[in-house]
Structure 1
Amino acid sequence: MPPLVSVIIPAYNSRAHVARALSSLERQREKNLEVEIIVVDDGSTDGTADFVRSRFPLARCITQDHAGLAAARNTGINAATGDYIVFLDADDLLCRGCLRSGIEALSRHGADISVCLCLNYVEGKDEGHFWPLRQDQYPLHLWHSNISPVHTFMCKRAVFSSLRFTPLPACEDWFFWFQCGQAGFQFTCNTDGMAVYIHRREGLAQTIGGQRTDMRVHLDVGRHLQQAEGLPPEGLFSAAVAHLAGALTCASNSKQHHADNVRQLLVEAGHTLALALKNKHSARRPSPTDPAGLAEQCHILQACALACGLPGEASELAQDIRVLGQYLCPGINDFTDGEKLHAAWRETFARTAVSPSVMAQTLRAHFEPADLVIPAL
């Protein structure tokens, strides 16, 4: 039977933990759901490829010189034969029924890309917490930042007819999903499936270091925004508001950015704010009962809350951000109280996101704590 789903696992020196990921995929196989597992050994020196071939003969292992995550995923895409494609990092796992639920969500909503739920788990530290996931408007939110870890996405093969991952120091998955949104592919939320994003202690420093490079992607996304000729005024306005909030969020994390980087991000925020103000009167007046309008309110509330903490030299930027806040959130009187604005943002965000109770229900139905244990082989 030809495979229905191809799962691509990029692996670099992953012998110690790849068995957990592969075991979770073996549990996905069921009647009428053939799973093709492709492990791309990205120049490992610890015997990862030999381990996979000897212990998991149903997996297909491809070896290549070390070239990074994006290149490894692209190699897997080129080799995949399934109708659907999923990416799973070597130290993460998919909960039971995740692949089936993704296919059903795509079929039910006529979409090209589904995004399932995610449990973040730090080994040996806690029981995990849920990654907040918006319910819809994914192309809009991708102007702000990434929406979910890479292993929560399932794509129809057509998505890769012209797109591939761009090699970047970090955030290459965000930039790829952003490109999918701009190409017109339809996203949908899959609340019946769940993945587990496992943070290993020895990998945390590398992860935090990689996050410092997200500024580059913010600037790349900003260049796309300035050249977005195909967007109608209301779409350009919404994208600018989302990107403004994303740039300010990136700039506000002072632990991950040098002062020069923060200045670049504030300049980016200024360019984006000017674009939003230019298109403000062409855009429709948002309604909080409309999903797009609620998303706009969420982004501007976050921007206004962050504007309260901007340095004095950015006071003009902060004031202009408040102008947008007054336009999109006329029910708020004081845009100088950062604490209250942050609370309003959190409340609005919750209205756009999958509820924690739904996430907990899916986790209970499809996850066993024993799945976190690396199988003894």
Structure 2
Amino acid sequence: MGDNWRKTMILRLIFTVACLQATVVSFSQTETQKQLMYEHINRDSKGSSIIGKIQPIENKEALFNNAQILPVYKVVFDKTNKPSFIQKEKYYLVFYIGRLYIFVNNKGSRLFENSPIIQNLTKFNSEKKKFKIVYFTESFSFDSEIFNPLITDDIFSYIIDKGIQYKFFDFIDFKYGSIEKLKEFSALDIVREKLTVKDINNYIKSNYLTFQYYCPKDTTLVLKSLVNEIRNATKDFSKGQELKLVSTIKQKLNPFPFFKKTPKSQKLNDSIVKIQETEIKKIIDEHQKHLSKVIGNYEFKIYGVSITNELLEIFTNKQLVDYINYNNLMRPALDTLVFQYNRWYRYSYGKEVLIKAGIIKNDSYKEFQNYSNKILEECGCPFDESIKRETIIR
């Protein structure tokens, strides 16, 4: 009886806290959003999980009577760098009995219960302190758009990120380096929102990293797709630049082509030729390994070999900026909570546009891959089953 009494009191305490949290917010959810929230959160009362289950939620009304719905705002800046809020209707948080759920574009997730932001929200609610949930630029994980919530006040005096409090503009310098850089990323976010199905199809047809992964033996096709991508990005890449770039890359990928040809006057048996080819391959592999050590979001590679210097030598200043912006637009760098991933990987944007157009029915990266694969096959690059691959390059 004592145990049952204690459980009852704990449950009452949880719901009392939740009721205190349920601050009225001028945020109107659609019926679809309400249903999504209810179904997603109520799943925590079913099945097996390493994290404790919650009590089943009777209906949507019971959820919203005991949950705090938090709108999300994007912080934007005018020409004088004065910040203001813009509410994002498809972004919202639900704080329910100590659990924080994040909904982005009708896709739900939940933070771990020891996440610092939950402690901050609990403290602010208990002190009846006003706050806003915000972000500055769009963030992406390996397979979708995500949201890393920040906390601020109405006058932008601070930012709290992962439990650490910064002065508002100090955080911008810490995160982006400068407000000018932040505004560049924000401008690309706006352009990305306006991308069409045609833009995504052109991106897929010229994504040289995908061609390299699917049909790596066809070097000519891979290099052609790289040139097409550069043309999509820069619009004024000349035929002379193309010839020089392709020639330079080929030389870098295979710096010893003369070793592969044995003069007709020399007659070598097969065993000697095999030894010679093995030695040549070792030399080339060591050469490429040395060239491939540099890493980073702005280190451009083909077949694992850096071509950043070659691009710098051939691009005009404007073309370089255009190509960097194109990569940030179509391949935004990961901005997850796992920092070591963020220096290495980019997200291949596109399925979001296809979902909005009704071409992809579910928010599934697999569907986007299938859609891309069909286009690649039409471009003469079916998946080469004979190649052993270690990782997927998007």
Q: TM-score range by the shorter chain?
A: under 0.3
TM-score (norm 2): 0.26
The higher radius of gyration belongs to 2
